[in-house]
Amino acid sequence: MARPTIEDVARIAGVSIATVSRCLHKPDVVTKATRDRVLSAVRDTGYALNTAAQSLRIRRSNTVLVVVPDIGNTFFSEILRGIQQVASDAGITILIADTGGQRLREEGFMRNLLNGRADGALLLAEPQVPWLDLPVANSRGVRPVVVISEAMPGTRTLSVEIDNIGAAELAVNHLLELGHRSIAHLTGPGTNILTAMRREGYRQALRKAGIEPDPAMEIGGDFGVASGVAAFARFRQLDPLPTAIFCANDESAMGFISAANAAGLKVPQDVSVMGFDDIHFAQVFLPPLSTVHQPRSDMGAEAMRLLLSVWAEEEPQPVVLPATVVLRESTARAPFRPA
Amino acid sequence: MARPTIEDVARIAGVSIATVSRCLHKPDVVTKATRDRVLSAVRDTGYALNTAAQSLRIRRSNTVLVVVPDIGNTFFSEILRGIQQVASDAGITILIADTGGQRLREEGFMRNLLNGRADGALLLAEPQVPWLDLPVANSRGVRPVVVISEAMPGTRTLSVEIDNIGAAELAVNHLLELGHRSIAHLTGPGTNILTAMRREGYRQALRKAGIEPDPAMEIGGDFGVASGVAAFARFRQLDPLPTAIFCANDESAMGFISAANAAGLKVPQDVSVMGFDDIHFAQVFLPPLSTVHQPRSDMGAEAMRLLLSVWAEEEPQPVVLPATVVLRESTARAPFRPA
DNA sequence: TTGTATGCGTTATCAG
DNA sequence: CTGATAACGCATACAA
């Protein structure tokens, strides 16, 4: 037997389908007596609203598309939690799309906005395809896009992020306060906006401390564990050897430490390592990683709120959340070294 | 202006909407001439099929619901990748639902099957609510459910898993081969089926080696990092101190090692630690973790294939995939200890 | 307060 | 090969 429809419920309750629909959506406009009959009919039949029919009728899916570059990356999951929280409170369903970093996939997922599967999108990464050509403004009926964490500066995109430059400065300042004067930097991938901003923060902190940034101290990475391992090989050839390194994210920092350890260099005794992100494993890692904490859950929640706000015809502004340095055991005072 | 509909396309191409629909779904049944006109009209208008209308009409959403207990747990993400792969090749959209382990949420998500948002579900954890009361069989029009990794034995559920008992035996055998005779076990949460099976494998391996399993050596955990830390406190009180421990998963193993290290116990010199799962961080961890590798991506892919198969009116069987022990540096030969 | 009737955008059936 | 048309299940304007 097929799924019960609103009509089945109506027949059993002895009312019209309009009344059933009203019972479900504006219960207060219907008599308590009929409401009870209808609701019990709903229970009896096990009726569940057909969302396809509803979406078609109300021209809305009550769904938000969340585009993630790599769902396997633990960094994103806590953002998702924040989104999930706010969304489910608002009765919104989340459609998660994992692009695996591939443009083609992202392009495909973009169609979910066009074909009505979703009413808006949350991008957890720098857009690879021109989502922004979509009408992003809040004109009625438009499907807004909010970029989390990696908004391009200068675009008029709605976004939620931290002050990456400032946060990187904070991190490097911590190293400076520990007495380090020779601080290397392991960067993210070349094209990434976060790479640029965190590197800028690194340089600014150095300059403010009266140290001229040395390009040779900036080692190219790609946020991956392996790139951290590779970076150590280049790091150890630096002469003199820096006493600390600021890594653009935690995973690469772990790779770096792992390689350092294999090579007999102790962290933090021989070299202090600072990460960025404060992913879940940062605190379990050996040594527990000093890093920059991003309020990921809040970022997700805030982004979802932005979307709700746009849907409500308001005109929300981009938001910048605070990031904090969390000190653990991968950083220590600089060893004394004769100049 | 509103989204173009099939009607707009038809008008511009100078054909009927039926023809437009045919061009999109069975292009070969239409003249090349008209097809070209239609397709170019599609391009011109930027037409995208309204999935709500389509779903309503064909009574199918071409969507699979994937229920995850915790999307932040890196264990699940690779399974998702496998699912994604097969699904997108088949033109299926994935709807990911994160229950956070809460029954209530899971119950809510189950509705996606009832309200037609999804045509079937993949459960990445032991079902908390009676999904299985849903018609799981492959009778026409039914919405099948496939359980990945944590199928309850005895139920007639479609499932994809590894031989957990056998895999745990493999792991413990490795420890035995290294000369360990006193091997502890850090279990998973009490109610979990995986906990039971891995513990059983642990016991069987011991028995086959002529060692009677000692309940005191089985420390209760919950798969979390913190429970690994807590377990170490109980472990160190064991007398004599075991020379090895088999943990029911990698995260708890990491917590254990982390605590051991903090207490001055070296891994693997003082105690060998074996994990289970081979999560992403297992190889970066210090020391790199010896563990049991689960073919997660394959498991996801296989599960999705099972679903496609049911939809195709076939009668697929549950599948069991092979797991392998991967040896890294958290395990070593047992130290000599006078009996 | 409740019922009737219309249309949301598609697909599929049936004629032409 | 193509066109007209009837559902699909629901929400709502309008009548009662």
CATH of the domain at A249: 3.40.50.2300
What pLDDT is recorded for position A337?
60
Burial classification of residue B317, based on how many CB atoms lie within 10 Å of its CB (0-12 exposed, 13-18 middle, 19 or more buried): exposed
Task: Please indicate, yes or no, if residue A300 is contained in any of the structural domains.
Answer: no
Contact B258 A96 (CB under 8 A): no
Q: Return the closest nucleotide (C1') to the Cα of B7.
A: C9
Asked whether strand D has any atom less than 7 Å from the CB of B18, the reply is: yes
Looking at residue B1, its pLDDT comes to 62
User: Is there a domain that residue B239 lies in?
Assistant: yes
Which CATH number is B24's domain given? 1.10.260
Nearest amino-acid residue to D8, taking CA and C1' = B57
Indicate the residue of B56, B78, B285 with minimum beta-carbon distance to A52. Answer: B56
DSSP letter for A299, please. H
- Which whole number is the average pLDDT over B322-335? 95
Contact A77 B80 (CB under 8 A): no
Does B93 contact A112 at a Cβ distance shorter than 8 Å? yes
Instruction: Kindly state the percentage of chain B with pLDDT values over 90.
Output: 75
- What count of Cα atoms within 13 Å lies in the side-chain half-sphere of residue A34? 19
- Minimum Cα–Cα distance from A100: chain B residue: B81
Q: Is A24 on the interface with B (CB under 8 A)?
A: no
Q: What number of CA atoms fall less than 13 Å from residue A275's CA on the CB side?
A: 36
What is the domain range of residue A169? 164-294
- For residue B256, the chain A residues in CB contact (below 8 A) are none
Which of B49, B51, B99, B225 would best serve as a mutation to test chain A binding (most A beta carbons within 10 A)?
Answer: B51
Judged by C1' against the alpha carbon of A48, the nearest nucleotide is D9
Which SS3 state, helix, strand or coil, does residue A99 take? coil
Q: What is the pLDDT of residue B138?
A: 43
Residue A118 within any structural domain of the chain: no
User: Is residue A286 domain-resident?
Assistant: yes
Expressed in angstroms, the distance from the first to the final Cα of chain A is: 85
Q: Going by C-beta distance under 8 Å and a sequence separation of 6 or more, which residues neighbour residue B237?
A: none
Contact B52 A56 (CB under 8 A): yes
Residue B63's pLDDT band (boundaries 50, 70, 90)? very high
Q: pLDDT tens-digit profile of B82-102?
A: 999 999 899 999 998 888 888
pLDDT for A75 equals: 85
Residue whose CA lies closest to nucleotide D11 C1': A57
Report the 10 Å Cβ neighbour count for B312: 9
Running along chain A, 339 residues long, what does each successive block of 10 average in pLDDT? 89 95 94 94 94 96 93 84 92 90 87 92 86 50 86 82 97 97 97 95 98 97 94 96 97 95 94 95 90 96 95 90 96 77
- pLDDT at residue A141 in the model: 61
Predicted pLDDT at B283: 86
- CA B97 distance to own-chain centroid: 13
Q: Band the pLDDT of B136: cuts 50, 70, 90.
A: very low
pLDDT tens for B229-281 read 999 999 999 999 999 999 999 999 999 999 999 999 999 999 999 999 999 88
Q: Is residue B338 part of a domain?
A: no
- Cβ burial, residue A138 (10 Å; 0-12/13-18/19+): middle
The C-alpha atoms of residue A223 and residue B277 are separated, in whole angstroms, by 24
Nearest to A71 among B77, B114, B288 (CB): B77
Average pLDDT over every residue of B177-205: 96
- Residue of A281, A285, A296, A297 to mutate, testing the B interface (most B Cβ within 10 Å of its Cβ): A281
Question: Is residue A199 a part of any domain in this protein?
Answer: yes
Q: How far is A208 from chain B (nearest CA, A)?
A: 35
Contact of A77 with chain B, judged by CB distance below 8 Å, is answered with yes
Q: Does A265 contact chain B (CB < 8 Å)?
A: no
| Shortest Cα–Cα distance, B115 to chain A (Å) | 5
Scan residues 152-181 of B and list those with Cβ closer than 8 Å to A.
none
Burial class from Cβ neighbours inside 10 Å (0-12, 13-18, 19+) for residue A267 reads: buried
CA dist list (Å): A228 to A238, A249, A275, B16: 15, 10, 11, 59
Q: SS3 sequence, chain B?
A: CCCCCHHHHHHHHCCCHHHHHHHHHCHHHCCHHHHHHHHHHHHHHCCCCCHHHHHHHHCCCCEEEEEECCCCCHHHHHHHHHHHHHHHHCCCEEEEEECCCCHHHHHHHHHHHHCCCCCEEEECCCCCCCHHHCCCCCCCCCCCEEEECCCCCCCCCEEEEECHHHHHHHHHHHHHHCCCCCEEEECCCCCCHHHHHHHHHHHHHHHHCCCCCCHHHEECCCCCHHHHHHHHHHHCCCCCCCCEEEECCHHHHHHHHHHHHHCCCCCCCCCEEECCECCHHHHCCCCCCEEEECCHHHHHHHHHHHHHHHHCCCCCCCEEECCEEECCCCCCCCCCCCC
pLDDT of residue B137: 42
Give me the residue from B51, B81, B116 closest to A117, CB to CB: B51
Q: Can you say how many angstroms the Cα of residue B154 is from the centroid of all Cα atoms in its chain? A: 20
pLDDT for B337? 60
Residue nearest to nucleotide C1 (CA to C1'): A30
Residue at B143 is within a domain: no
CA distances B107 to A28, B104, B110, B111, B112, Å, are 26, 5, 5, 7, 10
Judging contacts by C-beta atoms under 8 Å, the chain A residues touching residue B124 are none
Nucleotide nearest to B16 (CA to C1'): D3
Of B78, B96, B257, the CB nearest to A96: B96
How many folded domains does chain B comprise?
Answer: 2
B102 inside 8 A of chain A by CB: no
Which of B8, B115, B296 would best serve as a mutation to test chain A binding (most A beta carbons within 10 A)? B115
Q: In what order do the strands lie in the sheet with B145-148?
A: B93-98, B63-68, B120-123, B145-148, B158-162, B319-321
Q: Is residue B82 part of a domain?
A: no
Question: Which positions ≥6 away from A83 have C-beta within 8 Å?
Answer: A64, A66, A94, A122, A300, A301, A303, A304
Q: Are strands A120-123 and A158-162 parallel, antiparallel or unpaired?
A: unpaired
Paired with A99 in beta bridges are none
* CA of A326, C1' of D6: distance in angstroms: 65
Is A33's CB less than 7 Å from nucleic acid strand D? no
